[in-house]
Structure 1
Amino acid sequence: MTMKLSPLFRTLFCTAFLLGVLACSALSQTPDATTKFRLAQSLEQAGEIERAASLYRELLTRDPSNFMYFDGVQRTLLALKQYDEAIRLIGTRLNKAPGDLNLRALLGSVLYRAGREKEADDAWDKAITAAPSNPNTYRLVASTMVENRLLDRAVATYRRGREGCNDPMLFTMELAGLLVASMDYKGATLEYLRWLEQNPAQVSFVQNRMALFSWKPEGRGAAIEIVRTATETREDIRLYELLGWLYMEGKDVNSAYEVYRTIDRLSGSNGTGIYAFAERAFRERVFDLSARAFRAALDAPLPAVRRAAAMYGHATSLKELAAVPDTAEAGKPDLPLP
């Protein structure tokens, strides 16, 4: 007896059979592609760039939509300095995805390396104009410029981004880092002050960043000029903390003393800030200044819990001054007693 299959059942059976065949075919191809891709990576790492590029090209031809294959091809082409082929490859992909900003930024980078600077600028400009109000657009373009050591252009791109996004506080840390690298210490300090204005609790963070150039006399001098100018327009305790730190970095303890007196006044700490400075001046063996500072702290008036220590510090400083005649003589004309 022959069982008659319904048309629906036959259709489902055939579909399942075909899917199984296709799945087996895909499984048989996937290991081959995976093996070739791993081999291409190994060859690339071993410096066999031409052989790696050949494998990446073969893989991309089979699967043009695979980004890893595309990335492998363009990466090896750049290593081989085959810029024209890399430009054509990126252009082909851009034709399929004209809104891909990463591709546009990459195209600008390759064009620049090929010596086609005007075309590179045009490519970067098209990337920006495609999404002019998106901060990440400017970050993407600027980062490709930094990769090509175009620091000034990256700075200009970030500043353009501030205007395009209508936010003068954008890209503060990015700009500060670039300006430090360009040795524009005044510009970098201005950016750090912007950051501090928005993040007032991060004085220590800003100090750590500025320490990258404040150890240089020219860097410290530029920073002091900018911060001191800022204190003339607004009496912000954080600016004075930064200024005092900069003076101490340069061992200019007399200038630092005046700043720490201002900090003590603004903070209303009744001499405890001056007392802390006096201890530091004593450790630095600037006894004439530590004597003045301990005296000023006592006159603030200092809280009772610290008065005995301040009196002892003052007396010890005077004793050390008497024991070192040169120091005593050097200390006489510096600052009047408060």
Structure 2
Amino acid sequence: MSTDADMQWLDQPIKPICKQSMQTAAQHQTQLTKPLGALGELETVVVRLAGMQGRVKPDIDGVQISVFAADHGIAASGVSAYPQEVTAQMVMNFAMGGAAVSVLARHLQAEFEVVNLGTLTELPPHDAVVSRVIAAGTLDFSSEAAMSDAQVHQALAVGCERIDACAEKHPDLFIAGEMGIGNTSAASAIAAALLQLPAAQLVGPGTGLDPEQVALKAARIQQALDFHTLRADQPLEILRCVGGFEIAAMTGAYIRATQQGIPVLIDGFISTAAAMVAVALKPDVKDWLLYGHCSEEPAHRLLLDHLEGTPLLSLGMRLGEGSGAALAVDILRSACRLHAEMATFADAGVSDKETEA
């Protein structure tokens, strides 16, 4: 059981962004052999990375990808197109390297792990699975709190622990993925409570529901919101009442990564909901967040707008797992290489606007 002492890490400050590195990186951009702004978001993101990494020429060599998995009690009410057994099956697929994010992690030469916080189907021990089981999934949040106080604290602490475990390798970037049948319902409920919006404005098809099923899903989530009567200024209570173990672990990981000075690349709808909780708990987390893509889940854009996040990609994806963020890593790496390796006007003997004037 978690105690107040176990949660003292949450009170630690978020590492400040290095504004001097950002200013110098922005000035360097003005000297490169291109019109200012011609590389669009690549210029913006590399300047932000400079501030996060505290160096004028940042890079993204070491990448840590951690996929957090857990089941959800709400899934038993039919809010997903897939049975809950799929969560455990996918954990083993991650472990064996067959999932989409596993393939992308190999391509990126990223450090990769899958963390099991509790599946309905018990999993056998596996060397490639980090077992941090809290329970066999959360409770059905439409009629009771998804987690106890101790459980939400324990899940947050798992995220913290996984960052501390990788911090000695000094990763340049952290990506959290997720797996859990029913977790788009939990993410929708979290976002609805934080934004104080009706569930119908945030609920989408998830794993592939038809319109009638989406309407039933929205009704179920609205039932939960009406039952819990959560306020927007209660992020931890929102997470406890309608969240999931894996979403809480992602929240903890985002906070701990930014305390450690590790840039975070957010994936899709569920990851962004976790980021909203992290920012609500620790507003300075926001300075360390980059956004890999805008997913096909209809409300993801609403969440991105709330966080003032600009996604690097928009490919109609809705897989989760961290897959969209993993795809965006090569974009970040390209931005860093362009920033570091392009010639300046002076180096290339090219006239810029001021010279021509």
**Band the TM-score falls in, shorter-chain normalisation:** under 0.3
**Which one scores higher on RCO, CA 8 angstroms, separation ≥ 6?**
2
Q: Name the one with the larger strand percent.
A: 2
